């Protein structure tokens, strides 16, 4: 009964999205009011059908209805309710179903938000969204069917992959990633619509940027939450391993970030429209590539879903979407004529271009590193992995360059700056840069790249602070109080600009924290007997006892480690080794204690409760906690920039030439 209902809803969603897409494209060619209306109705109806299918699956999971094949594969009566809930996306078929839910929500929201605007673009955009939706419904109807009837009905199921039950972050990271990945469909549709319509007017760049920014916020959080999860669960003390699937989440983030900057230039100066559209298309295609990487079994990774037959289907879609995009670009890019021109020579324009160049370079670096092992294997059959050294060597200079540009760009005026202006803009922050690098040196930083990153970090922090402060100060000079001036200058008028600089502030902290945490950590591996103590930095660690704990779905051996810092008792930390019934290898769970400037990180390497011995990996990881905090700041900045501004200024073109650094006047820039 339940499986049949679920299958019916998926077929309905497939039908609605296919017909809706056809109607939408037809009404794009010959626009009528009725065509537009029906296009919107189909979009809402598809969203409702796929949401209902998800509701049925959720009900089946929570009610342990093992007649549904997906529930029989991932459900279990033994797991807590929240695990049953997250099982919706923990395995292949469910994750595609959930993908459909997110896509439906995005399509419905975007259709509703843009219902009264841009009739010349919207049918095409909706057509592209629904065509994408039709593909995912097709996956659910055929190759990745979650609602197959399970016969005979088992009494209980195995439960989801234990690694996914190990930490509550696993309930947050995947939905965030889907909200980022799937959300890229919306700007993709808008960009395709611009190409299909053969123009990209100033007014349409605004929704394009808004709907690009929304998934970008989720993707930013998802990339970092993935790292946080690895750090808290996998126990090797790091947060990023350049695993193919981590790279898959980073790739669209890089192009989307580049697109946000280039869209700003398009909106402001009417230039680089074709380039902006290309980056948006690329971001979407990279999300599909990422989906292929996680689900085809071609890439070996901790994240991989089990091998399945849907690889070829996704690859076919990826190929079709990519070829469609390239052809569309080639046919129509010349129609997106620039309305202004970029200014040569030193100035913010040039820095924007440089920023885009570095982001694209970064994208290709990661893409090549990820795909290269496949090329080698296809050519001569050797298995190899590119591994960290390549990525680190390439990513460190690129990250430092981005940090530097983030400082220099906003400091320079738009257009072409005179050498006097350049000197005045670029010299003062140097002091802040040298200050931070000097502080790092005093605290023990010796790696040249770390010192350089600290210098750039101080530089950029100074510039960002000035840009955040200037508009407020200008209002305060005319007699407003600080709170009033801040509210007026940053929140009411320059909200997008303000949000942008908040993102920059967060990004600066993230890059500096990564540089510091990856070069200035201390670690020690020790073998201890019960009662033994050892020192690491300011900490003194005592192995109190090893205890066996039996839990419903796993057995664990917990190491109780007493911790004191500079002689002050801090209680016990309990890293552990979990043995799940369904897994051969035990899975360690580290214990992490976060302080303002560093983490104390304990991970069990081996433990024997009978003999009372413990092999412990203890690390001091400086500034890691700041990566998580600063990512929150980045997301907050994104949200600030996202909230629509009430002023009408947005609808008219911004003036082409704006005097240097007169921040408050630069409405809508960032």
Partner 1 sequence: MNRRVLVAGALVVLPLLAVLVMNLGRDPHSIRSPLIGRPAPPFELRPVGGGGPRSLASLRGKPVVLNFWATWCMPCLEEHAALTAGARRYEPGVQFLGIVYDDEEARATSFLKQRGSSYPSLMDEGGRTAIVYGVAGVPETYFIDASGKVVSKYAGPLSPEVLAALVREAGGAS
Quick one: which of 318, 432, 559, 666 contacts partner 1 (CB under 8 A)? 318
Binding segment for partner 1 (CB under 8 A), chosen from 465-473, 562-570, 578-586, 646-654, is 578-586
Told to check if 63 binds partner 1 by CB under 8 A, we report no
- Which residue among 4, 375, 482, 549 contacts partner 1 (CB under 8 A)? 375
8 Å CB contact between 371 and 424: no
Residues 314, 295 contacting (CB under 8 angstroms): yes
583 belongs to the binding site for partner 1 (CB under 8 A)? yes
Give the residue with the Cβ less far from partner 1, 4 or 319.
319
| φ, ψ at 617 (rounded to 5°) | -105, 115
Report how far residue 309's alpha carbon sits from residue 296's, in angstroms, rounded to the nearest whole number.
Answer: 7
How far is 504 from 349, CA to CA, in rounded Å? 18
Applying CB under 8 A, does 297 fall inside the site for partner 1? yes
Other C-beta atoms closer than 10 Å to the C-beta of 76 total: 20
Tallying the residues shown for the chain, one arrives at: 670
Kindly state whether residue 330 participates in binding partner 1, applying the rule CB under 8 A: yes
Fill in the per-residue mask, 344 to 373: x = in contact with partner 1 (CB under 8 A), - = not in contact: -----------------------x---x--
**Among residues 333, 386, 636, 650, which is the contact residue for partner 1, using CB under 8 A?**
333
242 Ramachandran zone, left/alpha/beta (phi>0; psi -120 to 50): left
State the number of binding residues for partner 1 (CB under 8 A).
36
Q: Which position among 1, 81, 116, 381 is part of the footprint of partner 1 (CB under 8 A)?
A: 381
442 lies in the binding site for partner 1 (CB under 8 A): no
Q: Which stretch binds partner 1 (CB under 8 A): 326-334, 532-540, 594-602, 608-616?
A: 326-334
Beta strands in 193-277 (DSSP E): none
Query: What's the closest the beta carbon of residue 282 comes to partner 1, in angstroms?
Result: 9
Nearer to partner 1, 320 or 482 (CB): 320
Q: Which stretch binds partner 1 (CB under 8 A): 22-30, 314-322, 527-535, 608-616?
A: 314-322
Which of 31, 82, 142, 300 forms a contact with partner 1 (CB under 8 A)?
A: 300
For residues 298 and 386, which CB has a smaller minimum distance to partner 1 in the complex? 298
Closer to partner 1 at the Cβ: 306 or 418? 306
Answer yes or no whether residue 248 interacts with partner 1 by CB under 8 A: no
Distance CA 516, CA 508 (A): 12
DSSP classification of residue 154: P
Site string for partner 1, 205-244 (x = CB under 8 A): ----------------------------------------
Spatial separation of the C-alpha atoms in residues 593 and 83, rounded to whole Å: 25
If one asks whether residue 323 binds partner 1 (CB under 8 A), the answer comes out as yes
- The CB density around residue 385, as the number of other CB atoms within 10 Å, is 13
Tell me which stretch binds partner 1 (CB under 8 A): 162-170, 186-194, 329-337, 346-354: 329-337
Interaction between residue 329 and partner 1 (CB under 8 A): yes
Residue 319 found at the interface with partner 1 (CB under 8 A): yes
In the complex with partner 1, the residue whose CB is nearer, 316 or 549, is 316
Complex with partner 1: residue 279 or 451, whichever CB lies closer: 279
- Listed residue (642, 657, 648, 594) closest to 621, CA to CA: 594
Q: Does 298 contact partner 1 by CB under 8 A?
A: yes
* Residue 531 within binding range of partner 1, rule CB under 8 A: no
Among 116, 567, 584, 596, binds partner 1 (CB under 8 A): 584
Output the six-digit token pair for 492. Answer: 């009411």
How many other CB atoms are found less than 10 A from the CB of residue 525?
11
Q: Which long-range contacts (CB under 8 A, 24 or more apart) does 166-172 make?
A: 166/233, 166/578, 166/587, 166/589, 167/229, 167/232, 167/233, 167/589, 168/82, 169/225, 169/228, 169/229, 169/232, 169/233, 170/86, 170/229, 170/233, 171/82, 171/85, 171/86, 172/225
Whole-angstrom distance, CA of residue 554 vs CA of residue 558: 12
Residue 322: CB minimum distance to partner 1, A: 5
Establish if 299 lies at the interface with partner 1 (CB under 8 A): yes
Mention every residue, 6+ apart, whose C-beta is less than 8 A from residue 299.
244, 245, 293, 370, 374
Extract the tokens encoding 413.
């005026």
List interacting residues with partner 1 (CB under 8 A). Answer: 274, 292, 296-300, 304, 307, 311-312, 315, 318-319, 322-323, 325-327, 329-331, 333-334, 367, 371, 374-375, 377-378, 381-383, 582-584
């Amino acid at each position: 009964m339940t499986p049949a209902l679920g299958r019916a809803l998926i077929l309905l969603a497939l039908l609605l999205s296919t017909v809706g897409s056809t109607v939408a494209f037809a009404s794009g060619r010959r626009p009528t009011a009725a065509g537009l209306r029906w296009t919107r109705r189909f979009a809402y109806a598809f969203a409702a059908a796929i949401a209902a299918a998800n509701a049925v699956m959720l009900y089946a999971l929570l009610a342990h209805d093992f007649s549904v094949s997906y529930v029989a594969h991932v459900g279990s009566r033994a797991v807590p309710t929240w695990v049953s809930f997250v099982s919706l996306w923990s395995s292949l078929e469910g994750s595609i179903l959930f993908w459909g839910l997110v896509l439906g929500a995005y399509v419905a929201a975007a259709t509703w938000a843009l219902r009264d605007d841009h009739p010349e673009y919207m049918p095409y955009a909706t057509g592209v969204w629904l065509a994408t939706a039709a593909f995912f419904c097709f996956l659910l109807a055929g190759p990745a069917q979650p609602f197959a009837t399970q016969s005979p009905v088992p009494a209980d199921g195995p439960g989801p992959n234990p690694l996914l039950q190990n930490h509550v972050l696993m309930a947050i990271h995947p939905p965030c990633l889907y909200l980022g990945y799937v959300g890229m469909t919306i700007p993709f549709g808008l960009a395709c619509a611009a190409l299909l319509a053969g123009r990209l007017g100033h007014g349409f760049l605004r929704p394009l940027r808004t709907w690009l920014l929304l998934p970008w916020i989720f993707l930013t959080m998802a990339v970092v939450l993935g790292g946080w999860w690895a750090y808290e669960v996998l126990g090797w003390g790091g947060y990023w391993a350049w695993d193919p699937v981590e790279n898959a989440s980073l790739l669209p983030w890089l192009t989307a970030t580049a697109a946000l900057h280039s869209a700003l230039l398009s909106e402001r100066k009417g230039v680089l429209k074709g380039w902006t559209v290309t980056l948006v298309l690329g971001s979407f295609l990279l999300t599909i590539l990422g989906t292929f990487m996680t689900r085809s079994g071609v890439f070996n990774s901790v994240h991989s879903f089990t091998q399945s037959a849907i690889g070829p289907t996704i690859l076919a879609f990826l190929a079709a979407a990519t070829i469609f995009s390239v052809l569309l670009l080639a046919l129509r890019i010349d129609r997106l004529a620039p309305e202004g021109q970029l200014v040569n020579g030193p100035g913010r324009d040039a820095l924007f271009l440089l920023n885009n160049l570095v982001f694209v370079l970064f994208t290709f670096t990661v893409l090549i590193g990820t795909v290269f092992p496949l090329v080698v294997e296809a050519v001569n059959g050797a298995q190899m992995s590119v591994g960290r050294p390549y990525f680190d060597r390439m990513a460190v200079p690129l990250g430092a360059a981005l940090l530097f540009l983030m400082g220099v760009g906003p400091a320079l005026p738009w257009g072409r700056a005179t050498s006097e202006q350049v000197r005045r803009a670029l010299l003062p922050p140097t002091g802040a840069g040298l200050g931070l690098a000097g502080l790092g040196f005093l605290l023990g930083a010796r790696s040249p790249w770390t010192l350089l990153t600290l210098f750039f970090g101080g530089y950029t922090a100074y510039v960002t602070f000035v840009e955040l402060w200037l508009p407020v100060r200008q209002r305060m000079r005319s007699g407003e109080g600080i709170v009033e001036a801040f509210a007026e200058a940053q929140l009411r008028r320059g909200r997008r600009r303000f949000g942008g600089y908040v993102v920059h502030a967060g990004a600066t902290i993230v890059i500096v924290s990564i540089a510091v945490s990856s070069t200035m950590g201390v670690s020690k591996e020790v073998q201890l007997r019960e009662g033994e103590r050892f020192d690491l930095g300011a900490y003194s660690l005592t192995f109190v006892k090893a205890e066996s704990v039996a839990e419903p779905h796993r057995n664990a051996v917990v190491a109780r480690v007493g911790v004191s810092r500079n002689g002050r008792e801090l209680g016990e930390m309990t890293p552990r080794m979990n043995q799940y019934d369904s897994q051969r290898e035990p899975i360690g769970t580290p214990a992490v204690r976060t302080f303002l400037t560093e983490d104390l990180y304990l991970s069990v390497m081996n433990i024997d409760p009978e003999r009372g011995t413990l092999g412990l990996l203890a690390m001091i990881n400086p500034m890691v906690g700041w990566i998580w905090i600063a990512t929150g700041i980045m997301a907050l900045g994104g949200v600030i920039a996202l909230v629509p501004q009430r002023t009408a200024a947005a609808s008219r073109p911004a003036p082409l030439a704006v005097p240097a650094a007169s921040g408050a006047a630069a409405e809508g820039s960032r």
